[in-house]
Amino acid sequence: MTLRKWVTVIALLTPGLGLIIAMIGTVVYMAIAQSFGLYSLLGDSEFSTEFWDKMLGRRAYYKSVKYSLYIGTFSAILSVALAYPLAIWLRKPFKGSLAVGAILKAPLLVPGLVAAFLFINVISYNGILNQFMQWLGLWDEPHRLQNDRNGFGILVLQTWKQMPFALLLLTSAVQGISDDILDAARDLGAGTFARFRKIIAPMTISAMQAALVIIFIGAVADFSFQVIAGPTNRQSLAQFMVFFKDSGRWHDAAVVGVTLMGAALFGSALLAVAARFVLKGGRLK
């Protein structure tokens, strides 16, 4: 790498990455410092590890971390898993594909908060889903589906909202694969799944990783869905953090916040690497 190349690279990175590092880097630094007792917003600042010590002793903390990671991972995997077949199906335009594409992407247009309240409406105790199941005779009485213990409600909401995003990314990637390769593979006897695994997946890895990473981070940090439709016996990291912040315990909130950032960054990196590993047939390159 010559000096000239470095200068070019840095010049290119400045307007985008540079701004991010300058602005958000400062914010992140403030959050980390706060978790160690410094930069106190409302009280006195002094360095201390007591907030971390206390937090690591709380059971609620570990439950939060596990729960958020679980939501993040499964939301990302489900969204991408659903988006792939749809993207492949929509690869070549056919009659009605424009309408189908638009319908599938419609959830992107619905604000998250509204989606949550619509969802609660549908699954409420005497709501339409319960009434339908009783009418079908499958259930004798209404089932309490809201705020379910396993967070299935959240997973459904996240997938509903995020799948179109994955679809958007994967469609453009999948459309870039030329027919020659796929035809040749079919002629050579490769079945549908083999064609997916050996050709489509490796060639769209980058888009898939981008989708996985962004959806994972969004789902791990989810607050509004969790507060409305999430299980009431555990809190997501964002919810847990707001719990401290609302009672004025900013340093504890910062500890949870730093954990959230760490979990999001490293979890997503892990997920991206794992996905690459799986789809490239057990090789990392």
Partner 1 sequence: MSQSTINKILLYVLIAVCALWLVIPFTMAVLWSLVDPAEPWTADKLLPPVMSTYRWSHMWANSSLKPALINSYILAPSVAVVTLILAAPTAYAFGRIQFPGREVVKLIALLPLVVPGFVTAVFFTSIIFQMGLHASRFGAILFAHSVILMPYAIRILTVSFEQVRQDHIDAARDLGASVIERWKVAYLPALKPGIMAALLIVFIQSIEEFAIAFIVGSPSFVTVPTLLFSTLGQDFVRPNAAVLALILIVPNVIMMLILERLLKSANPSLSSGKG
Partner 2 sequence: MLKKLLSTGIAVLATASVAMSGSLEGKSWEEILVEAKAEGELTWFIWYFQDEFRDVAKAFTAETGIKVNIPEGTAAGNNDKLLAEMGRETGDIDVISFGYENVHAWPLAKLFQKIDTVLPDITGRKQDVTGIAGEGYVFAYWGNQTGIAYDPDMVAQADLPQTPEDFAAFWAENPGKFGFNYVKGGSGPSFFHNTLRVLSGIDYFGDAPVEEKLAGLGAGIDFFNEHAENYVITASNIDSANRLSDRELWMVPAWEDHLAGLQNRGEVRKELQYYIPEMGMSGGGNGVAIPQNAPHSAAAIVFIDWLTSADVQTGFNSRFGTAPAHANSDDSKALVSNTQRAFSQAWPSQPFKQNVEDLFVEEVVLNR
Minimal distance in Å, beta carbon 279 to partner 1? 15
Residue closer to partner 1, measured from CB, 15 or 282: 15
Closest CA to 115 of 166, 162, 64, 168: 162
Residue 93 contact partner, candidates partner 1, partner 2, none, CB within 5 to 8 A by sort of partner = partner 1
Residue closer to partner 1, measured from CB, 21 or 81: 21
Taking CB under 8 A as the criterion, the residue among 6, 13, 17, 25 binding partner 2 is 25
Minimal distance in Å, beta carbon 199 to partner 1? 14
Give the range of 105-113, 172-180, 225-233, 256-264 binding partner 2 by CB under 8 A. 225-233
Residue 140 lies near partner 1 (rule: CB under 8 A): no
Residue 59 lies near partner 2 (rule: CB under 8 A): yes
Residue closer to partner 1, measured from CB, 56 or 108: 108
Minimal distance in Å, beta carbon 229 to partner 2? 8
Minimal distance in Å, beta carbon 185 to partner 1? 13
Residue 114 lies near partner 2 (rule: CB under 8 A): no
Minimal distance in Å, beta carbon 128 to partner 2? 12
Binding mask 71-110 for partner 2 (x = CB under 8 A): ----------------------------------------
Residue 257 lies near partner 1 (rule: CB under 8 A): yes
Residue 255 lies near partner 1 (rule: CB under 8 A): no
Q: Per residue in 244-275, is it b (16+ CB within 10 Å) or e — as a string?
A: bbeeeebbbbbbbbbbbbebbeebbeebbeeb
Could you tell me the CA-to-CA distances from 177 to 44, 196, 201, 253 in Å, in that order?
A: 59, 12, 10, 47
Residue 122 lies near partner 1 (rule: CB under 8 A): yes
Minimal distance in Å, beta carbon 39 to partner 2? 5
Q: How many residues bind partner 1 (CB under 8 A)?
A: 93
Residue 218 contact partner, candidates partner 2, partner 1, none, CB within 5 to 8 A by sort of partner = partner 1
Closest CA to 86 of 111, 103, 72, 71: 103
